Amino acid sequence: MKNIITRLLILVFLSFFTLSCAGGGSGASSEICDNGTDDDGDGLIDCEDADCIDECNANNTNNTNNTNNTNNTNNTNNQDIETNCTDGLDGDGDGFTDCADSDCLGETGPGGITCESTETTCDDNGDNDGDSDTDCADSDCLGETGPGGITCESSETICNDGADNDGDGFTDCADSDCYGDVNCQDQEICNNGSDDDGDGDTDCADSDCVGSQGPGSIICESTETTCDDGGDNDGDSLVDCNDPDCSSAPACQANEICSNTTDNDGDGDIGCADSDCIGEIGPDGVTCQTTENSCNDGGDNDGDGLVDCDDSDCSGAVNCQPENCTDGVDNDGDGDTDCADSGCDGQTGPGGVICSYPNETNCTDGGDNDGDGDVDCVDSDCSGAVNCQENCTDGVDNDGDGDVDCADSNCSTNAACQNTCSEDYVFYDSSDSCPGTDQCTMTGSPPAAQCLEDSEFGGSFYSICSFTGLCPFGSICANSDGESYCFPFCDRDQPDHEDCPGAGDCLYGLTDSDLSLCKESDFCDATVETIGAVPCAAGEGCYIGLDHTHCFEAGIIAVGDTCTYVDDCQPGFICAGSCYELCTLPASSGVCDHGGTCQDALGDPTYGACL
């Protein structure tokens, strides 16, 4: 304000000086018609002033080339673009002035600031984007550096930097945002109804609070001067016009102000309820009426506390007829349609559902009973319904949130949704250890336990998987002699997992792993000493595995010689430290071609050994 007063004084001095030099006069300058200034103080500038009619008309009519008035610099409304971004005028008539006009972007604006489309210069005390908010008061500046190097905030959180960080005019502890801050504990909190500093005065009655935010965001004052904010600014328990301090305030004179919530004339009636206001504009911009007859303007026109169709005066209005609960129209004009209207509670609504206002109570009928746009379990009203609790294993979105089973956050602690996948859960007879429909298997190199989607599994045990790479749960696609098969997992060190599905034996090892793999039986005759005998391939012989017979590369160790592995011996023999001839049970009919007699010594139901 000080700068403004200084400039006004200078203008007055210059005006006086000019008149004195001209030899006196009436005390007002004549209008100069081309300087963008209101020289004679009548509120009209240049060609807008009647004093300039002759001069401005001469400029417009005598210049034959001035068809578009482009040379008529005195008439600012004839410009195509804003050229003066500091004069507060709308030079191009587009409704925007100075930095609010896009023509001024990058140009010098009022006070020497730079005009910007969005306020990015937050420390120049200027309104760079013309939105009436300056520096930290402009939301564009949140998080930016403001005046004096402060950080701009939406709410004051730095309460000891001596700065107004949120631009609301209050600094540190004077800002209600800082009430409760550790830096403000020893001071009076001005809006909590307590005597925080123990001086006997509370909130605005405490002199410490003058200029701070008090109850209801009013400004505390030593003497009530704000007489129309509905607050007790000086803490004397007298509000607005009831406070003698306001006796001379305009708002407290004899005439009722119809648009506020104060009884200005003291007759006990406020706003449209005061007969003085009939025909005047009342609260919320409605027209005050003796009896409410504007029944769809959202206002209480007669001040009886009832709005539109809620007022019995409107009972005959077209828009106030009973609500039709199935037609999608707000028949009674209360802003609510069909089941969202309280008048439809218990009535039949769209699609035959029964309306339940204000909350959805039927959570299984497939209808929006309360008209809030949400059906059954999607409606938060149904959160406690039995049918809306997420079942984590049924493949259904029970609570209607778009997530099914383990994909639903409600199932995060459900046992079925825990991931306990490890080598102990990859066997064909293992229990589920992966969330949802995922399954645990060994994958990668070196192999490691991992949950894979159900679509990653397929095929059958012991089948060829070279082309699809898919195997059933409990097996892995592995190469053997140039072809890939689905080998089931097994573990000879774990009694629970040493068995194999079907006619298989746990014979192979899985590279880079402690697990073993099952080999399917070839159903050959282990007593046959011929190499390559069907079903074995050339160079193979038939040997007893664990419980079944298999074709392996034929061994060469003869009967009676020392051996280590099952296929060290020649076909027709078994390795038990030495190679022994096999015979077919029962022992009484078993044939031993290399000496000895057939004995049931192997615990095998089909084969014995010649001893």
DSSP category for residue 486: E
> How far is the C-alpha of 306 from the C-alpha of 431, rounded, in Å?
67
Residues in the chain: 611
Q: Cβ contacts of residue 374 below 8 Å, gap of 6+?
A: 360, 368, 380
Residue 339 token pair: 């089941």
Q: Which residue has the higher pLDDT, 238 or 157?
A: 238
Nearest to 390 by CA among 381, 403, 379, 380: 403
Q: Is 142 helix (H, G, I), strand (E, B) or coil?
A: coil
φ/ψ of 583, rounded to 5, equals: -135, 165
Residue 525 token pair: 């005759």
DSSP category for residue 17: H
Model pLDDT, residue 47 = 73
Are 458 and 468 in contact, with CB atoms under 8 Å apart?
yes
Residue carrying structure tokens 């379990």: 377
Task: State CA 332 to chain mean position distance.
Answer: 36
Q: CA-based angle 62:67:70, to the nearest 5?
A: 95
Q: Which residue has the higher pLDDT, 443 or 315?
A: 443
Residue 185: how many other CB atoms lie within 10 Å:
12
Positive or negative CA dihedral for 376, 381, 387, 389? positive
Nearest to 537 by CA among 520, 548, 550: 550
Confidence of residue 254 (pLDDT cuts 50, 70, 90): low
Model pLDDT, residue 66 = 39
Model pLDDT, residue 33 = 82
Residue 462 token pair: 């012991």
Are 441 and 458 in contact, with CB atoms under 8 Å apart?
no
Model pLDDT, residue 563 = 96
Mean pLDDT of 343-357: 91
Q: Say which range, 74-78, 86-90, 414-418, has the weakest mean pLDDT.
A: 74-78
Confidence of residue 426 (pLDDT cuts 50, 70, 90): very high
Positive or negative CA dihedral for 368, 374, 377, 381? negative
Task: State CA 189 to chain mean position distance.
Answer: 35
Q: Cβ contacts of residue 403 below 8 Å, gap of 6+?
A: 390, 397, 409
- For the segment 337-349, what is each residue's pLDDT rounded down to a tens digit? 989 898 899 999 8
Model pLDDT, residue 7 = 33
φ/ψ of 55, rounded to 5, equals: -65, -40
Percent of the chain with pLDDT over 90: 46
Task: Please give the mean pLDDT across all residues of the chain.
Answer: 84
- Counting Cα atoms < 13 Å in the Cβ hemisphere of 306 gives 13
> How far is the C-alpha of 216 from the C-alpha of 207, rounded, in Å?
18
Residue 260: how many other CB atoms lie within 10 Å:
17
Mean pLDDT of 491-512: 92
Q: Cβ contacts of residue 438 below 8 Å, gap of 6+?
A: 451, 452, 453, 454
Q: Cβ contacts of residue 218 below 8 Å, gap of 6+?
A: 204, 226, 229, 230, 231, 232, 233
Q: Long-range contacts of range 81-88, CB-CB < 8 Å, 24 or more positions apart?
A: 84/36, 85/109, 85/110, 85/115, 86/110, 86/111, 87/36
Q: Which residues pair with 469 in a beta bridge?
A: none
DSSP category for residue 326: T
Q: Which residue has the higher pLDDT, 4 or 192?
A: 192
Q: Which residues pair with 562 in a beta bridge?
A: 578
Q: Which residue has the higher pLDDT, 415 or 269?
A: 269
Strands of the sheet with 504-509, listed across from one edge:
475-480, 483-490, 516-520, 504-509
Nearest to 135 by CA among 157, 113, 120: 120
Residue 344: how many other CB atoms lie within 10 Å:
26
Pairing, β 439-443 against β 448-452: antiparallel
Model pLDDT, residue 23 = 39
Mean pLDDT of 417-427: 89
Model pLDDT, residue 161 = 84
Nearest to 129 by CA among 118, 121, 113, 137: 118
- For the segment 307-324, what is each residue's pLDDT rounded down to a tens digit? 988 999 988 887 787 888
pTM: 0.38
- For the segment 535-580, what is each residue's pLDDT rounded down to a tens digit? 999 999 999 998 999 999 999 999 999 999 989 999 999 999 999 9
- For the segment 95-115, what is each residue's pLDDT rounded down to a tens digit? 899 999 999 999 999 999 999
Model pLDDT, residue 393 = 75
- For the segment 166-225, what is each residue's pLDDT rounded down to a tens digit? 888 888 777 888 877 767 766 888 999 888 887 889 999 999 999 999 999 899 999 999
Residue 25 has pLDDT above 80, yes or no: no
Q: Which helix (H) or strand (E) holds 6?
A: helix 2-21
Please report, as a single letter, which amino acid is at residue 340.
A
Q: Which residues pair with 287 in a beta bridge?
A: 281
Model pLDDT, residue 59 = 53
Q: Cβ contacts of residue 12 below 8 Å, gap of 6+?
A: none
Nearest to 149 by CA among 175, 169, 122: 122
Residue 74 has pLDDT above 50, yes or no: no
φ/ψ of 569, rounded to 5, equals: -80, 165
Residue 63 has pLDDT above 60, yes or no: no
* Helix residue ranges, H only, 181-278: none
Are 74 and 66 in contact, with CB atoms under 8 Å apart?
no
Q: CA-based angle 242:244:250, to the nearest 5?
A: 80
